[in-house]
Structure formats: structure tokens, C-alpha cells
Amino acid sequence: MSAEDSVSRRGFLRTATGAAAVAGAAGAGAGTAAGQTTKEVIVGPGGSLVFEPATVYVAPGDTVHFVWESDNHNVVVESQPEGASWEGTEGDANTLYNTGHEYEYTFETTGTYSYFCQPHRSAGMVGEVVVNESGQAPSSGGGGEGGGGG
């Protein structure tokens, strides 16, 4: 019986160690995989009529998390890449949200998404999400390769 116990403990430990290794590998991969990054946009920081930052860069599968820091704002989609289906905040362009509201969306299609706050558009409360493979702003120095107008 003690030999059997020993084998079964050994088998259990081998199985448990294997499962832990798989879980660890999955966790390590998930941190670098697409869809794991969330970037934040502040809506009306300090009562100002802006989105901060006005332009946010993400990779396909990344999420943008909008957080309201003042009242009477929304996110209305002005334009987006062909095939994308972002609708902005719930409701129509007259549906507004107040301090503490949070909204997020995961962007899958590469390109530029332009948006605005309906009541404050004329005051310049506009923003954009740029989805590109790197999820980073293009470097401003050196090389004209990969640059594109538009």
C-alpha cells in the first residue's frame, strides 16, 4: 500500500506541476497578447471641455476606457474605418452622462475613429482613437517609410 501511495502521490504531483506550468505559460502569453491593453481617456477633466488625451493609440483588440470627470458629456462617433461597428455611448446624441460614468469599447479594426461630445463639439470637444499594429503613436523623427497621408 505504501508503494501505491507513493506512486499516486508522484502521479498527482506530476499532474499538478504540469497544470501549473500550463497555467503559468498561458498567463505569461496573455500579458503580451492582443486584447490585453486598456488605455484611459478622461472625459471633461477638471470641468474642461476636452477629451484627455485627444488622440489615443491602440492595437487591434485593445480597449479604450472612458471615465467622466465632469457632467453632461457623451461620446458620439463621427467616422470610423469601413467594417467597424463602434456606436459610442448608449442612447442617441442627446443622451448625456455625468461625473463617475464609465464606458469602454474594444477596437478590432485598424484605422482612425473620430468622435465628439454632442453638446460641446463647437467648443472643440473632439477626439480620435487610432488603431494600428503597434498600438503606439508613429515616431516623429527619421525615415519617411510607412508614413501615409490622411
Residue in the block written with cell 491593453: 37
Q: How far apart are CA 115 and CA 75, in angstroms?
A: 6
Residue 54 DSSP class: S
Count of CA atoms in the C-beta half-sphere (13 A) of 9: 6
How big is the chain, counted in residues? 150
Per-residue pLDDT of the chain (150 residues; tens, 9 = 90+): 555 444 444 444 444 444 443 333 333 333 335 447 999 999 999 999 999 999 999 999 999 999 999 999 999 999 999 999 999 999 999 999 999 999 999 999 999 999 999 999 999 999 999 999 999 998 875 544 444 444
- The pTM of this model reads 0.71
Would you state the cell numbers that stand for residue 147, as one nine-digit string? 508614413
Is there a contact between 121 and 46 (Cβ–Cβ < 8 Å)?
no
Beta strand spans in 11-143 (E): 38-43, 51-52, 55-58, 62-68, 76-79, 102-107, 111-116, 126-131
